[in-house]
Structure 1
Amino acid sequence: MSTLALLLVLVLTCSASSAQRVQSKFHTDSATVSVTVIVDRFGSGNFTTVQQAIDWAPTNNNQWIRIHVKAGTYTEQVSIPQNKPYILLEGEGRKTIIQSGGHGSVRGTSTFTVNADNFVASRITFKNTYNVNKLIARDQDAAPNARPHIERAPAVMIWGDKASFYACGFVSLQDTLSDMQGRHYFNDCYIEGAVDFIWGFGQSIYEHCHIYSTHAFRGRLRGLAGYITAQGRLSSNDSSGFVFKYCIVNGDGNTYLGRAYRAYSRVIFFKSKLGGNVVPEGWNAGKFVGEEFQFTYAEEGCYGPGSNNSNRVKWMKTLNQRELAPLVSRHRFIDRDGWIKAQPSPS
């Protein structure tokens, strides 16, 4: 870090008192934050946009930097490059929103992209407004049974390893949360979408999260079902997969729990409450009809009106304790090196 950057850090540290700290409800053994800077769109902080704060962060940093984002709606695309690790991005709850309307190809369209390792976000909502705004307009102009053309519109895309999210919101319709690669942890988050809205090749645990499936279809087509997950495990030796522990699944749109994105797709719902909007079949083979024996789709200890598995697809797995334990254990599945507690404690 340059001398000028060090001087700036000392100045900005003095302003950190204006970011109110609250006691963490997640974990207490954590790394020390070296400096806090404040983003306020109205001009009372150190920066007025989130990207300005990211751009300021030193490259190849090895100390945690807290970026506190004041309440407000920040309409911008934000990207954290690979050479800017150790960032804690902290909002002020539901009133802190980062949004944009990128769409089409998943690359370059996400509202928020994390390319760096070692990232933490807490109490921020990430939103892609494109499909939502488009459907509102369609409802006003189109025939009631017209099928909408929904486009990929990611709210968040995660390429880095060791990323964790606490009490965050993720809102879009298609490809909402692009959990692309690496080990990730989500706690007490809200995730909303309609089509493949949690997808990718990530190795992730979602704990105490609210998964809300919204309808993307109006009129006589409203009964069509969406898909919560589209996980892309590539082989039997691939360690990736999505595990949902103690979650709530509901919404105003019918949905499958998942469809295969690659031939060894792996998704587990464990001790979660499944709403009546989950279709009886539960799972969909996607483009891999005939290869279903390679999937690992399982529901263990779930409850609620959508948990009746009497009409589930015949190829849904029933895992024994030896098979299940390493998948639902946070330590064994994603955290053998203790990276989660080594991160700063989120507020």
Structure 2
Amino acid sequence: MQFFNFFLNSSLLVLVLSMSTKTDGQVRKTIIVDQSGHGSFTTIQNAIDSVPSNNEAWTLIHVKAGIYNEKVTIPRDKPRILLQGESYRSTIVQFGDGGDSIKSSTLSLYADDFVAMDITFKNTYNLEPGTPITWAPAALINADMAAFYRCGFISVQDTLTDSEGRHYFENCYIEGAVDFIWGNGRSIYQGCNLNVTASAQRSGMAAYITAQARDSVVDHSGFVFKEGWIFGTGPAYLGRAYKPYARVLFYRTRMSGIIVPQGWSAWNYVKKENSIVYAEVDCTGAGANKSKRVAWEKKLSSKDLSYLLDINTFINNGGWIQRQPKRGS
């Protein structure tokens, strides 16, 4: 019986320790990426490929300053990776590919439980002279429980494909002109700067910041922008409905005068606007004047507003954000 109790207690201890490695937010391994050869790898993709499948402990991939000309894919079997640069201005991952809203992405994230810090993802395709403006994502986020701190996302069309899952963006820089934050993600953008580059289209056409893709009343997705800043070149719409139940909230956002008076577009859902949830609350700046906004912009109830603004009720079910590492070192 003593042996059985010892075996049982030992097994429970091993189980608890195993579970703690997944949930304590501590980095257990560090990999250095340095183009000059003074690290573990010279490319980010090679570093990611070295992480074991179904990784149970957090792995930090520290990317030294530089411009890394490569596409980066993090497959589903590589969870719990912290990808950290030295700053979003000095550590840049870029590639020039266009024509496909998914396959052309510079970063393709499919693994759950991911964190990125202090790094920029850029698609140069639409930025090159003479190229037609087309789908050219800087990042595709098709995973659950992904967080981005002080990161940059730069392109012209479909810059950030916020495709699926719960996501948190804090103090990020996002640049684009056409549907440059789009998808079916369930995301909060806290303190993010949105640089609208309507002039980059070279056509005089208006820009569209969001194209959210919520497709039913029971779909939990939506984009919430809190306490950020919209600036750049216009004219620009806050969003156009990619799907019939599109949901976007701008809260205490500073808006420059580039925002068109009507604010929003129903796109392909004209005369079906009742299902679209577009709202602005306590925003400031020349672009926040709502006197000529579309009549179907929603006034949210205090209950609905509280649900969307509270990080714990909207995206942080189970406390996954607290369990992730907050810094790499």
**Does the alignment reach a TM-score above 0.5?**
yes
The alignment covers a number of residue pairs equal to 305
TM-score w.r.t. the length of structure 2 is 0.90
* 2:175 counterpart of 1:198: no
* 2:73 counterpart of 1:49: no
Cα distance in 2, alignment partners of residues 70 and 252 from structure 1 = 32
| Residues 196-230 of structure 1: per-residue CA shift (max 9 Å, x gap) | 000000000000000110024577x43x3110000
Partner of 1:258: 239
> Which of the residues 248, 263, 267 maps onto 1:267?
248
Cα distance in 2, alignment partners of residues 302 and 192 from structure 1 = 20
Partner of 2:113: 118
| Cα root mean square deviation, aligned | 1.3
* 2:287 counterpart of 1:340: no
Cα distance in 1, alignment partners of residues 24 and 138 from structure 2 = 28
Report 1 or 2 for greater relative contact order, CA contacts < 8 Å, sequence distance ≥ 6.
Answer: 1
> Which of the residues 281, 287, 299 maps onto 1:300?
281
TM-score w.r.t. the length of structure 1 is 0.86
Cα distance in 1, alignment partners of residues 107 and 58 from structure 2 = 19
Amino-acid identity (%): 51
Query: 1:252: how far off?
Result: 1.7
Partner of 2:63: 69
Unaligned runs of 5+ in 2: 1-22
Contact 2:156 2:201 in 1 (8 A): no
| SS at structure 2 position matched to 1:287 | helix
* 2:159 counterpart of 1:165: no
Partner of 1:24: none
| Structure 2 counterparts to residues 87-102 of structure 1, below 5 A | 87-93=81-87, 94-102=89-97
Contact 1:173 1:216 in 2 (8 A): no
Contact 2:192 2:228 in 1 (8 A): yes
Unaligned runs of 5+ in 1: 1-28, 139-148
| SS at structure 1 position matched to 2:92 | strand
> Which of the residues 308, 311, 323 maps onto 2:292?
311
Contact 2:177 2:201 in 1 (8 A): no
Structure 1 counterpart of 2:148, which letter? F
| Residues 93-149 of structure 1: per-residue CA shift (max 9 Å, x gap) | 01100000111112221000100000000000100000011xx347xxxxxxxxxx4
- Displaced runs of 4+ in structure 1, greater than 3 A? 216-219
| Residues 242-298 of structure 1: per-residue CA shift (max 9 Å, x gap) | 000001011123210000000000000011111111111100011111111100000
* 2:225 counterpart of 1:231: no
Contact 1:121 1:164 in 2 (8 A): yes
Cα distance in 1, alignment partners of residues 96 and 269 from structure 2 = 32
Cα distance in 2, alignment partners of residues 252 and 64 from structure 1 = 40
